[in-house]
């Protein structure tokens, strides 16, 4: 988890199509 | 055989649902719509702009490319998250599939932003040829990426096919260290059946799927070449990589 902190965060974020 | 059943006893209804979910995910997470790309297709970097790219220091252009790739990867992560079943995989496998497959998906998606008629690709708002990337000092990699884009364009894939092929490349059991390979395999099989289902509808030529699958080893070779070039670059410019490259890029490619 620590090694892939940003990827982990991106996977957890709730983003909607408008956020992209 | 029951006509309601498609491939491998997955119902036609389920194949359609899988295909529609992946196509929707793809369309929602593309950096540019097909219409936008169509409008930009003949807006090329001028001779003077190309000269400016060519005279940039190597590390500056590397940094610019790393930023563009990282941006594209963030959209691929969103694509993955929207594929039904992806977020149901364990976290280890989600991260592993993205780490090993995101650049391959970026390369597949790149064929949408490639104009095979003049061999140019969309980069920083306009289309440019291989000469734009000369200062990177990676002629072999750049040329191989352009060749790949051209060959994928020659298959004249629809948006639906690009969407399903991208998902098939990402959800792959070929990646080492998967914790739940069976779960990944089940999802991958469904995606392939959905891709086959869509391609049978769209193409008279039955070989297109085989041709598409035969491009996968090239994708993998391009990613290996990218890693090698990055390692070589980092040895010469460690500060640029450590300080100026996007953190996500460093995390994924771990130079």
Q: Which residues does residue B120 pair with via DSSP β-bridges, in sequence order?
A: B115
**Residue B123 near residue B132 (C-beta atoms within 8 A):** yes
Angstrom CA distances, B227 to B89, B221, B232, stand at: 27, 10, 9
pLDDT tens by residue, B126-175:
999 999 999 999 999 999 999 999 999 999 999 999 999 999 999 999 99
> Is the model's pLDDT at A2 over the cut of 90?
no
Contact A7 B252 (CB under 8 A): yes
The per-residue pLDDT for B3 is 47
> Is the model's pLDDT at B252 over the cut of 90?
yes
The per-residue pLDDT for B69 is 97
Question: Which residues in chain A touch residue B25, judged by CB atoms under 8 angstroms apart?
Answer: none
The per-residue pLDDT for A1 is 61
Contact A20 B28 (CB under 8 A): yes
* Mean pLDDT across B52-81: 97
Q: Which of A1, A2, A3, A11 to mutate to test the interface with B (most CBs of B within 10 A)?
A: A11
pLDDT tens by residue, B180-233:
999 999 999 999 999 999 998 887 667 889 999 999 999 999 999 999 999 999
Cβ–Cβ pairs < 8 A, chains A and B: 36
Question: Which residues in chain B touch residue A1, judged by CB atoms under 8 angstroms apart?
Answer: 91
User: How far off is chain A from B51, nearest CA to CA, in Å?
Assistant: 32
Contact A7 B77 (CB under 8 A): yes
Check if B29 contacts A (Cβ < 8 Å).
yes
The per-residue pLDDT for B255 is 63
pLDDT cut 70: percent of chain B above it = 95
Contact B251 A6 (CB under 8 A): yes
Distance CA B153, CA B116 (A): 7
Torsion angle of C-alpha atoms B84, B88, B91, B97, degrees rounded to 10: -40
* Mean pLDDT across A1-20: 79
* Mean pLDDT across B87-113: 98
Angstrom CA distances, B166 to B108, B126, B187, B237, B244, stand at: 7, 24, 13, 33, 29
Please name the member of B29, B75, B99 whose beta carbon is closest to the beta carbon of A4: B99
In three state form, how does the secondary structure of B214-249 look? HCHHHHHHHHHHHHHHHHHHHHHCHHHHHHHCCHHH
Distance CA B245, CA B250 (A): 7
Residue B67: CB atoms within 10 A of its CB come to 15
Q: Which residues does residue B114 pair with via DSSP β-bridges, in sequence order?
A: B121
Please name the member of B29, B74, B87 whose beta carbon is closest to the beta carbon of A10: B74
* Mean pLDDT across B113-132: 97
Check if B27 contacts A (Cβ < 8 Å).
no
The per-residue pLDDT for B2 is 47
pLDDT tens by residue, B222-236:
999 999 999 999 999
**Residue B190 near residue B18 (C-beta atoms within 8 A):** yes
Question: Which residues in chain A touch residue B252, judged by CB atoms under 8 angstroms apart?
Answer: 7
pLDDT: is B201 or B40 the higher one? B40
Please name the member of A1, A4, A15 whose beta carbon is closest to the beta carbon of B78: A15
Mean pLDDT for chain A overall? 79
Banded pLDDT at A20 (limits 50, 70, 90): low
* Mean pLDDT across B78-85: 97
Find the angle CA(B212)-CA(B218)-CA(B222) to the nearest 5 degrees: 135
Banded pLDDT at A18 (limits 50, 70, 90): low
The per-residue pLDDT for B78 is 96
Mean pLDDT for chain B overall? 94
Interacting residues of B32 by C-beta distance below 8 A, sequence separation 6+: B40, B112, B113, B122
Contact B77 A8 (CB under 8 A): no
The per-residue pLDDT for B12 is 87
Check if A16 contacts B (Cβ < 8 Å).
no
Distance CA B131, CA B121 (A): 11
Contact B91 A17 (CB under 8 A): no
Residue of B nearest to A17 (CA): B28
Distance CA B33, CA B28 (A): 9
């Amino acid at each position: 988890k620590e090694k892939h902190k940003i990827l982990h965060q991106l996977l957890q974020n709730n983003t909607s199509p408008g956020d992209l | 055989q029951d006509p309601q059943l498609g491939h491998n006893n997955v119902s036609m209804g389920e194949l359609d649902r899988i295909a529609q979910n992946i196509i929707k995910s793809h369309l929602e997470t593309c950096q540019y719509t097909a219409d936008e790309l169509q409008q930009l297709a003949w807006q090329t970097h001028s001779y003077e702009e190309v000269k400016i790219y060519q005279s940039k220091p190597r590390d500056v252009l590397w940094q610019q490319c790393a930023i563009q790739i990282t941006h594209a990867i963030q959209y691929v992560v969103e694509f993955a998250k929207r594929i039904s079943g992806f977020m149901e995989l364990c976290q280890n496998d989600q991260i592993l599939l993205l780490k090993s497959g995101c650049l391959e998906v970026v390369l597949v998606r790149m064929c949408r932003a490639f104009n095979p008629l003049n061999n140019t690709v969309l980069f920083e708002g306009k289309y440019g040829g291989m000469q734009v990337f000369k200062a990177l000092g990676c002629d072999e990699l750049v040329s191989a990426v352009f060749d790949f884009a051209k060959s994928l364009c020659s298959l004249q894939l629809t948006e639906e096919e690009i969407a399903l092929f991208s998902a098939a490349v990402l959800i792959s059991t070929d990646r080492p260290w998967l914790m739940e390979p069976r779960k990944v395999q089940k999802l991958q099989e469904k995606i392939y059946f959905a891709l086959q289902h869509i391609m049978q509808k769209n193409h008279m030529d039955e070989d297109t799927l085989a041709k598409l699958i035969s491009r996968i080893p090239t994708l993998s070779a391009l990613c290996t070449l990218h890693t090698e070039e990055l390692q070589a670059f980092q040895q010469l410019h460690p500060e640029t990589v450590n300080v100026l490259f996007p953190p996500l890029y460093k995390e994924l490619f771990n130079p």
